[in-house]
């Protein structure tokens, strides 16, 4: 395949295009244009530049009849796009200049864009990084998901408590998408199944329309563009005119309301399957539309159905689209007449499944009765899939068991490859959740350690450092990230170290200025920035970080003249609205922050900052500014983590457990450049089996005991002294995530970090070695692994 030529446009021409869009797409003149109008005009002008490479890529795939990858994901946590697209097209300087010539501040225009927050956390952001890498590697691919009207809720704090409000990114026009009214599929629910002459047919009781919206995803240097196709739910019948004419307006719009509910809101739950009928409908809705769409495309090329696996690779991002298996079987067998066994084998040849969690509560299961009511034909097909699987393996694993349809088992059985997301996690997948299935299908599970796109997570978010890297090793590294290895010798070069440190300092100042403007908070940029950003979850142990903060505060107050290393502890993240304990932890962080930040003894030495409403854009400020990255999950619980990679790449040192991809990060950056502490996954399991393990750990640690007594006694909640009595009590008896057992080791490691951080030269040397050795964590490497081990698709040759 050939490539699309680099985009060439000068500031003058881009300026004219921006004005043209301002006038003719937005109907505004320069004197009346708002920031929003300028941002829309710039976006539309940039979007125009994407169209030619997008058409060219699509044309090449059709001509070559190439195999396509379909990445099915309930979540795509994309963030903002203006800067990302300008950078991928290599026109960011031109864009900046064009805006300046129009009297507009480019940075302000970029910041006006709302985040596309169509995801909860790591899983959704991984999907977004994968889209970027698929286009950069020129792999023909579609992302398929839901065009939620409301992305992840907005978080703010009231008296320290998390309050959620609806997010509204689509209240403004979305600049990047193309509506495709002609691409629409009818999606059914409920009803009954008829059989005649050995042929089954499903007659849904209710239908909605899945309507497509396409966003081009441009890769590095504008060489290639794939498509993200998101489905919106619309009513099959616009409204009930009869009710309207009777004056019953509510009843008249009922069909529309019902249909639109399906794509109304992203489930804000990153813990458990909600068991809600709506969630199952969302899953089936987008999966069925995607499968129909890819089958139509395949058939339009005149292929025979048996060849489907040679042309189509379908990746299931977690179990949420696991219904793809039975749906594809249904279409192949019921609609296209393939014998059932052949339909199952053909579908399996296309499908692969990524597992992102070992937490049992996060593995989806549906009540069989509900499932059979909403998807009666799929229920029957799953029974047939199970029969074939049992006949092939002799058991013991069932897909439907004890009145539940188990989506993990369904996805596994219907996939030709199943992957975990880090080496440790994949090993645990084999030993725990899918032990028996792994024995039955020993070739099926493979590892693909996660990665992050270096375009957004280094080049774009950290211009001080990416500029320095360009000047030091040239400009080829953004799509060949292991070239960063060439920085390693410079870790011993005094001038380079000084420049690296200055870049970090510039990022800290940028973050400080942003927080000052946003929240009125003042940060001392000479202090160490110690950052933990991720969903609030017990296994991620924000609580342990907070307990250590209180212990440090105690130590400072005990010895106010000690030689303390000034630190700013930054927390950011949201809790699932129904996750009581996580919300209690948020409240406690805010209570502790209020108390410590007001204490004169802590001034200049310890500060706690918890900016509300963490999202991708906030991460782009925080990640480059970190000195220390907190990756402190209970070993065995964090499948991979990807924030850990972002921090290491941007030159933060990690304090972390041997969990997820921390293991591989430590191997690559060097044990001496990583602060390891805590129990291993094996030790966690053993310790948990010991009676009263938490009480013993608390007994043995005077430091921890004192902190817990303060919290339980109301030291941070004088208005309600017993507010955290329950939380502390539970830590004694139900410390499932072993905060107590790892506390001392964590505290001691932090004190070692205090001492090490004071040797600025050596700290910077080790920070450089983190950046220079993190190149392997590019999502380009991950995607090349999927292409090779799972999808069997070719990459176009690199320029
Ligand atoms: C995350 N899972 C893992 N789930 O926790 C993290 O270790 C990993 O790096 C990342 O996936 C990418 O592999 C995660 O983010 C969710 O948010 C789901 C959302 C929908 C409900 C179930 C959890």
CA-661 nearest atom, ligand 1:
9
Q: Could you tell me if residue 336 is inside a domain?
A: no
pLDDT in tens, 721-734: 999 999 999 999 99
Residue 642 bears catalytic tag: yes
Burial (Cβ within 10 Å: 0-12, 13-18, ≥19) of residue 165: exposed
pLDDT in tens, 528-567: 999 999 999 999 999 999 999 999 999 999 999 999 999 9
Residue 540 bears catalytic tag: yes
Ligand 1 centre to CA of 125 (Å) is: 9
The CA-to-CA distance between both ends of the chain, in Å, stands at 11
Q: Does the structure show a pLDDT above 90 at 240?
A: no
Ligand 1 centre to CA of 73 (Å) is: 12
Contact between residue 89 and residue 222 where contact means Cβ atoms under 8 Å apart: yes
Q: Which two tokens stand for residue 551?
A: 């212990």
Residue with CA at minimum distance from ligand 1 atom 18 = 270
pLDDT in tens, 16-47: 999 999 999 999 999 999 999 999 999 999 99
Give the mean pLDDT of 701-724.
98
Residue 221 bears catalytic tag: no
Q: Is 450 in the pocket of ligand 1 (CB under 6 A)?
A: yes
Helix, strand counts (H, E) of the chain: 33, 24
Q: Is 123 in the pocket of ligand 1 (CB under 6 A)?
A: yes
Ligand 1 centre to CA of 279 (Å) is: 17
Q: Does the structure show a pLDDT above 90 at 313?
A: yes
Q: How confident is the model at residue 274 (pLDDT cuts 50, 70, 90)?
A: low
Given 47, 96, 229, 356, the catalytic residue: 356
Residues 6+ apart with CB under 8 A from 203: 191, 192, 193, 194
Ligand 1 centre to CA of 561 (Å) is: 44
Q: Is 742 in the pocket of ligand 1 (CB under 6 A)?
A: no
Q: Is 268 in the pocket of ligand 1 (CB under 6 A)?
A: no
Q: Is 420 in the pocket of ligand 1 (CB under 6 A)?
A: no
Q: Does the structure show a pLDDT above 80 at 796?
A: no
pLDDT confidence of residue 184: 97
Quote the domain boundaries for residue 735: 455-782
Q: What is the CA radius of gyration of the chain?
A: 27
Ligand 1 centre to CA of 787 (Å) is: 22
Q: Could you tell me if residue 414 is inside a domain?
A: no
Ligand 1 centre to CA of 641 (Å) is: 8
Q: Where are the alpha helices (DSSP H) in 525-579?
A: 542-558
Q: Could you tell me if residue 644 is inside a domain?
A: yes
Q: Is 542 in the pocket of ligand 1 (CB under 6 A)?
A: no
Q: Which residue has the tokens 């890297």?
A: 469
Judged by average pLDDT, the poorest of 5-9, 43-47, 123-127, 754-758 is: 5-9
Q: Report strand pairing: 192-196 vs 199-203.
A: antiparallel
Q: Report strand pairing: 567-572 vs 528-533.
A: parallel
Ligand 1 centre to CA of 124 (Å) is: 7
Domain count, the chain: 1
pLDDT in tens, 755-784: 999 999 999 999 999 999 999 999 999 999
Q: How confident is the model at residue 7 (pLDDT cuts 50, 70, 90)?
A: confident
Given 540, 587, 637, 723, the catalytic residue: 540
Which has the closest alpha carbon to 52: 27, 77, 89, 25? 89
CA-639 nearest atom, ligand 1:
7
Q: Could you tell me if residue 653 is inside a domain?
A: yes
Q: Is 120 in the pocket of ligand 1 (CB under 6 A)?
A: yes
Residue 504 bears catalytic tag: no
Q: Which two tokens stand for residue 163?
A: 């309050």
Q: Is 362 in the pocket of ligand 1 (CB under 6 A)?
A: yes
Residue to mutate, 122, 273, 420, ligand 1, most ligand atoms under 8 Å from C-beta: 122
pLDDT confidence of residue 2: 44
Distance CA(240)–CA(245), nearest Å, equals: 9
Q: Could you tell me if residue 35 is inside a domain?
A: no
Which has the closest alpha carbon to 135: 55, 214, 217, 72? 217
Q: Is 270 in the pocket of ligand 1 (CB under 6 A)?
A: yes
pTM for this entry: 0.98
Residues 6+ apart with CB under 8 A from 796: 1, 3, 137, 138, 139, 224
Q: Does the structure show a pLDDT above 90 at 210?
A: yes
Distance CA(482)–CA(781), nearest Å, equals: 9
Residue 281 bears catalytic tag: no
Residue with CA at minimum distance from ligand 1 atom 6 = 641
Residue 637 bears catalytic tag: no
The mean pLDDT of the chain is: 96
Q: Could you tell me if residue 74 is inside a domain?
A: no
Q: Could you tell me if residue 422 is inside a domain?
A: no
Q: Is 643 in the pocket of ligand 1 (CB under 6 A)?
A: no
pLDDT confidence of residue 799: 37
Residue with CA at minimum distance from ligand 1 atom 19 = 270
CA-126 nearest atom, ligand 1:
12
- DSSP letters for 111-134: HTSPPEEE-SSHHHHHHHHHHHHH
pLDDT confidence of residue 271: 52
Residue with CA at minimum distance from ligand 1 atom 4 = 123
pLDDT confidence of residue 244: 84
Q: Does the structure show a pLDDT above 60 at 485?
A: yes
Q: Could you tell me if residue 596 is inside a domain?
A: yes
Residue with CA at minimum distance from ligand 1 atom 12 = 123
User: What dihedral do alpha carbons 433, 434, 436, 439 form, nearest 10°?
Assistant: -140
CATH number at residue 601: 3.40.50.2000
């Amino acid at each position: 395949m050939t490539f699309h030529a680099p985009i060439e446009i000068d500031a003058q021409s881009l300026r004219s295009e921006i004005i043209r869009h301002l006038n003719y797409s937005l109907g505004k003149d320069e004197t009346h244009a708002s920031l929003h109008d300028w941002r829309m005009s710039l976006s539309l002008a940039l979007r125009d530049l994407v169209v030619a490479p997008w058409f060219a890529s699509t044309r090449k795939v059709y001509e070559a009849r190439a195999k396509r990858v379909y990445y099915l994901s309930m979540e795509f946590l994309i963030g903002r796009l203006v800067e990302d697209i300008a950078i991928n097209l290599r026109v960011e300087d031109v864009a900046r200049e064009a805006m300046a010539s129009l009297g507009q501040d480019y940075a302000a225009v970029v910041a006006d864009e709302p985040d596309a927050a169509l995801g909860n956390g790591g899983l959704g952001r991984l999907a977004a990084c994968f889209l970027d890498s698929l286009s950069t590697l020129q792999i023909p691919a579609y992302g398929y998901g839901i065009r939620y009207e409301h992305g992840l809720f907005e978080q703010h704090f009231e008296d320290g408590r998390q309050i959620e409000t609806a997010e509204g990114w689509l209240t403004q026009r979305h600049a990047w998408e193309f509506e495709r009214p002609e691409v629409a599929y009818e999606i059914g629910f409920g009803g009954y199944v008829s059989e005649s002459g050995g042929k089954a047919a499903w007659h849904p009781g209710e239908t909605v329309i899945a309507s497509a919206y396409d966003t081009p995803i441009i890769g590095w240097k504008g060489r290639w563009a794939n498509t993200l196709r998101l489905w919106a739910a619309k009513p099959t019948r616009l409204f009930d005119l009869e009710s309207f004419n009777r004056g019953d307006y509510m009843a008249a719009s009922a069909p529309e309301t019902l249909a639109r509910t399906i794509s109304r809101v992203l489930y804000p739950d990153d813990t458990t399957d909600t068991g809600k009928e709506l969630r199952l409908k969302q899953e089936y809705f987008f999966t069925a539309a995607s499968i129909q769409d890819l089958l139509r495309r395949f058939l339009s090329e005149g292929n025979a159905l048996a060849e489907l696996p040679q042309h189509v690779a379908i990746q299931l991002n977690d179990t949420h689209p696991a219904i793809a298996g039975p749906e594809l079987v249904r279409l192949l067998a019921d609609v296209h007449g393939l014998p059932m066994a052949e339909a199952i084998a053909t579908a399996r040849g296309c499908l692969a499944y990524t597992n992102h969690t070992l937490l049992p509560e996060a593995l989806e299961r549906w009540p069989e009765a509900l499932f059979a009511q909403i998807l009666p034909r799929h229920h029957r097909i799953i029974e047939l899939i199970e029969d074939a699987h049992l006949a092939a393996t002799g058991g013991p694993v069932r897909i439907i068991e004890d009145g539940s349809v188990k989506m993990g088992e369904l996805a596994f059985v219907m996939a030709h490859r199943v992957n975990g997301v880090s080496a440790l996690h994949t090993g645990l997948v084999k030993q725990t959740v899918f032990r028996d299935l792994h024995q039955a299908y020993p070739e099926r599970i493979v590892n693909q350690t996660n990665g992050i796109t270096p375009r957004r997570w280094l080049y774009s978010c950290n211009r001080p450092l990416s500029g320095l890297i360009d000047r030091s090793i040239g400009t080829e590294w953004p799509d060949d990230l292991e070239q960063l290895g060439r920085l390693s010798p410079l870790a011993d070069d005094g001038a380079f170290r000084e420049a690296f440190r200055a870049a970090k300092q510039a990022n800290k100042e940028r973050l400080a200025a942003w927080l000052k403007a946003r929240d009125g908070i003042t940060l001392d940029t000479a202090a160490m920035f110690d950052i933990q950003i991720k969903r609030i979850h017990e296994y991620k142990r924000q609580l342990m970080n907070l307990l250590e903060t209180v212990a440090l505060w105690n130590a400072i107050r005990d010895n106010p003249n000690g030689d303390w290393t000034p630190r700013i502890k930054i927390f950011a993240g949201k809790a699932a609205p129904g996750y009581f304990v996580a919300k209690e932890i948020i409240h406690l962080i805010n209570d502790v922050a209020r108390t410590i930040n007001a204490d004169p003894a802590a001034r200049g030495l310890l500060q706690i900052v918890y900016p509300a409403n963490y999202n991708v854009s906030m991460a782009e400020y925080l990640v480059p500014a970190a000195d220390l990255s907190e990756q402190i999950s209970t070993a065995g619980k964090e499948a991979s983590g990807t924030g850990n990679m972002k921090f290491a790449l941007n030159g933060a040192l990690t304090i972390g457990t041997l969990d997820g991809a921390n293991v591989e990060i430590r191997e690559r950056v060097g044990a001496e450049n990583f602060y390891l502490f805590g129990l291993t996954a094996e030790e966690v399991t053993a310790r948990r089996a010991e009676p009263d393990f938490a009480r013993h750990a608390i007994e043995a640690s005077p430091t921890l005991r004192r902190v817990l007594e303060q919290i339980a006694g109301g030291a941070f909640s004088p208005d309600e002294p017993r507010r955290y009595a329950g939380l502390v009590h539970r830590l004694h008896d139900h410390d499932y995530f072993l905060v107590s057992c790892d506390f001392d080791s964590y505290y001691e490691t932090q004190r070692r970090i205090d001492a090490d951080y004071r040797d600025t030269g050596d700290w910077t040397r080790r920070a450089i070695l983190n950046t220079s050795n993190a190149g392997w964590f590019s999502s380009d490497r991950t995607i090349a692994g999927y292409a090779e081990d799972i999808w069997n698709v070719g990459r176009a040759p690199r320029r």
